[in-house]
Amino acid sequence: MNKVYCIGELLIDFVAEKQGSDLSKATNFTKKAGGAPANVACAISKLGGESFFIGCVGKDPFGTFLLTILEEHGVDISMAQRSSTFTTLAFVSLAEDGERDFVFSRGADKELQYNSEYRNKFKGNILHLGAATALLGGSLEDAYKHYFFDALSQGAFICFDPNFRGDLWKGKENLFIEKCLPYIEKSDLCKFSMEEAQLLSGKEDLNEACDFLHNVGAKVITITLGGDGTLLSTSKSKKNIPSIKVSPVDTTGAGDAFIGCLLQQISALADFKTIFNDESILTNMVLMANKAGAITTTNYGAIESLPNLNQLQH
């Protein structure tokens, strides 16, 4: 089993209790652990993989709460840091159909410091880069870049998820695209939503978007399509891999469950190249990852809803 290092933000999601009200009307909020790369780390360890979280939280009770949750889910937090800035907060409300609305209050996540002692950890392992806040500047962005180049120089398997959040990049979409492209260029696997694939490629049509993103350099592309499953694209083929039928109540974390499940399966391979050479193995992995995403939508919250191995196998 190879290790999966997940870098990016870990934050508190304050989720509006009353489903169907937007943030302007919500009054009561429930505190939940959130942050896409942290969710991915939990998804991996919940399925039996070995995951590490690299990110920063505050030296406050919220930071303690978050790191405790990761530990309880089996994520190694020895590379996580704490700063004296408050823990990053996100306020989330759910509409009737389970779609969500976000407001961010950015704090400690931006203060992650690069640690050169970790430089040699990536050989033979996986680095997963989640970009929701990492490309917004701060020392996190520098650390992110350094670990990316460290992992590349050691031939690690690289996975990139842009995690585009419109309210964070309003009016700066071109800068977001410019910042993402170098990561896409060098990634073995990219996970996009439909909107992200269209934004980053400038193409409406998803087949054309994939061609563009392959030309940039992405080797394997997955475009998650909610209830419609996933478009899997490689240099050899493009195909839609269906999901299972569920009744969703909250889609938060479905994409993280998907990519976490896919990375957990890849981490179990003796040779990562298998996914480039054997389409049927990759297809089966995506089928399983779709199931992980689907199960996550059937419960509230992100980390709490991530499936374990038993749920995936039934």
Closest distance of CB 98 from ligand ATP, Å: 8
Q: Which is nearer to ligand ATP, 122 or 300 (CB)?
A: 300
Of 93, 125, 133, 224, the residue at the interface with ligand ATP (CB under 6 A) is 224
Q: Are 53 and 70 in contact (CB under 8 A)?
A: yes
Of 77, 294, 303, 306, the residue at the interface with ligand ATP (CB under 6 A) is 294
User: How would you write 198-231 as a 3-class SS string?
Assistant: HHHHCCCCHHHHHHHHHHHCCCEEEEECHHHCEE
Closest distance of CB 221 from ligand ATP, Å: 13
Give the nearest residue (CB) to ligand ATP: 293
Q: Which of 85, 93, 119, 77 is nearest to 13 (CA)?
A: 93
Q: Are 183 and 189 in contact (CB under 8 A)?
A: no
> Contact region for ligand ATP (CB under 6 A) — 87-95, 119-127, 202-210, 290-298?
290-298
Closest distance of CB 118 from ligand ATP, Å: 27
Q: Is residue 281 helix, strand or coil? A: helix
Q: Is 229 in the site for ligand ATP (CB under 6 A)?
A: yes
Fill in the DSSP letter of residue 22: -
Closest distance of CB 164 from ligand ATP, Å: 9
Question: For residue 212, what are the CA distances in angstroms to 165, 186, 200, 282?
Answer: 22, 14, 9, 21
User: How many chain residues are in contact with ligand ATP, going by CB under 6 A?
Assistant: 20
Q: Which is nearer to ligand ATP, 143 or 197 (CB)?
A: 197
Q: Are 9 and 109 in contact (CB under 8 A)?
A: yes
> Contact region for ligand ATP (CB under 6 A) — 50-58, 88-96, 102-110, 293-301?
293-301
Q: Which is nearer to ligand ATP, 142 or 195 (CB)?
A: 195
Q: Which of 280, 276, 182 is nearest to 220 (CA)?
A: 276
Fill in the DSSP letter of residue 87: P
CA 175, 128, 283, 247 torsion: positive or negative?
A: negative
Q: Which is nearer to ligand ATP, 4 or 190 (CB)?
A: 190
| Assigned token pair, 300 | 């509230």
Q: Which is nearer to ligand ATP, 2 or 224 (CB)?
A: 224
Closest distance of CB 197 from ligand ATP, Å: 10
In angstroms, rounded to a whole number, what is the distance separating the alpha carbons of residues 244 and 294? 7
Q: Which of residues 232-251 bind ligand ATP (CB under 6 A)?
A: 243, 246, 248, 251
Q: Which is nearer to ligand ATP, 27 or 313 (CB)?
A: 313
Cα 245 to chain centroid, rounded: 23
Closest distance of CB 191 from ligand ATP, Å: 7
Q: Is 93 in the site for ligand ATP (CB under 6 A)?
A: no
In angstroms, rounded to a whole number, what is the distance separating the alpha carbons of residues 238 and 234? 6
Q: Which of residues 139-198 bind ligand ATP (CB under 6 A)?
A: 193
Q: Is 8 in the site for ligand ATP (CB under 6 A)?
A: no
For Cα atoms 133, 140, 265, give the angle at the middle one, nearest 5 degrees: 70
* Amino acid symbol at 229: G
**Footprint on this chain of ligand ATP (rule: CB under 6 A):** 193, 224-227, 229-230, 243, 246, 248, 251, 253-256, 258, 290, 293-294, 297
